[in-house]
Amino acid sequence: MFTVDARLKRLEGLERLDTEDIFQATYRKHMKKPLISKIAILVYDIFSVLIFPIAICRYIHYKVHVFLGYYLFVPAQFLSKKDKKKDYSDESIKPEEDVKEVKQKKYIREGRQNLKKVFNAQIVNIKTADGAKLNGVFVPGEDALGRTLRQNGPLIIFFLGQTGMYEDLGKGRFQEVLKNIRNHNVLVFNERGVLKSSSIATRKGLYLDAEAILQFAKKRLKVPKEKIVLHGHSFGGVKATYLASKHREIKLLNDRSFGSSDKAIYYMAKDMFHKVFSVCFLMPLYLIEKFASQNISNKVKNFLKRYEISKDYKLLRPIFLVKMIRAATSVAAFICAKITVIFGWKLTPEKDWQKVKDKKFILFLRDDETIPYEASFFKAVKKKEKQFIRILDPNCIHWTAMAPDIYSVALKALEA
Query: How high does pLDDT run on average in the chain?
Result: 87
Residue 398 resides in a domain: no
Q: Please classify residue 108 by burial: count the beta carbons closer than 10 Å to its beta carbon, then call 0-12 exposed, 13-18 middle and 19+ buried.
A: buried
Compute φ and ψ for 8, nearest 5 degrees: -65, -40
Question: How many structural domains compose the chain?
Answer: 1
> Quick one: which of 295, 327, 162 has its CA closest to 234?
162
**Lowest mean pLDDT, pick from 84-98, 177-191, 266-280, 326-340:** 84-98
- Using CA atoms, how far residue 134 sits from 26, 111, 128, 281, in Å, is 14, 18, 7, 47
Residue 79 resides in a domain: no
Q: What is the pTM of this model?
A: 0.88
- The average pLDDT across 353-381 equals 89
The pLDDT tens digits of the residues spanning 208-241 come to: 999 999 999 999 999 999 999 999 999 999 999 9
In sequence order, what DSSP letters do the residues of 12-57 get, joined into one string? TTPPP-SSS--EE----GGGSPPHHHHHHHHHHHHHHHHSHHHHHH
Domain that holds residue 315: 262-342
Confirm if 406 and 389 have CB atoms less than 8 A apart: yes
pLDDT score of 202 more than 70: yes
Per DSSP bridges, beta strands 23-24 and 122-127 are parallel
> Quick one: which of 123, 109, 118 has its CA closest to 18?
123
- Provide the 3-class DSSP secondary structure of residue 65: helix
The pLDDT tens digits of the residues spanning 283-325 come to: 888 888 788 888 888 888 888 888 888 888 888 888 888 999 9
pLDDT at position 1, please? 38
CA dihedral 197, 198, 200, 202 (to 10 degrees): -70
Residue 307 resides in a domain: yes
Q: How confident is the model at residue 132 (pLDDT cuts 50, 70, 90)?
A: very high
- Using CA atoms, how far residue 297 sits from 292, 304, 305, 308, 312, in Å, is 6, 11, 12, 16, 19
The pLDDT tens digits of the residues spanning 391-415 come to: 766 777 888 777 777 888 888 888 7
The pLDDT tens digits of the residues spanning 5-19 come to: 444 445 454 566 766
Beta partners for residue 361, in sequence order? 253
pLDDT score of 249 more than 70: yes
Residue 317 resides in a domain: yes
Residue 7 resides in a domain: no
Q: Look at 97 and 282; give whichever has higher pLDDT.
A: 282
Residue 347 resides in a domain: no
- Provide the 3-class DSSP secondary structure of residue 174: helix
- Within 8 A by CB and 6+ apart from 337, the residues are 262, 263, 265, 266, 269
Residue 321 resides in a domain: yes
- Within 8 A by CB and 6+ apart from 317, the residues are 307, 308, 309
The CA-to-CA distance between both ends of the chain, in Å, stands at: 34
- The average pLDDT across 185-201 equals 95
Alpha-carbon span 151 to 18, nearest angstrom: 14
Residue 333 resides in a domain: yes
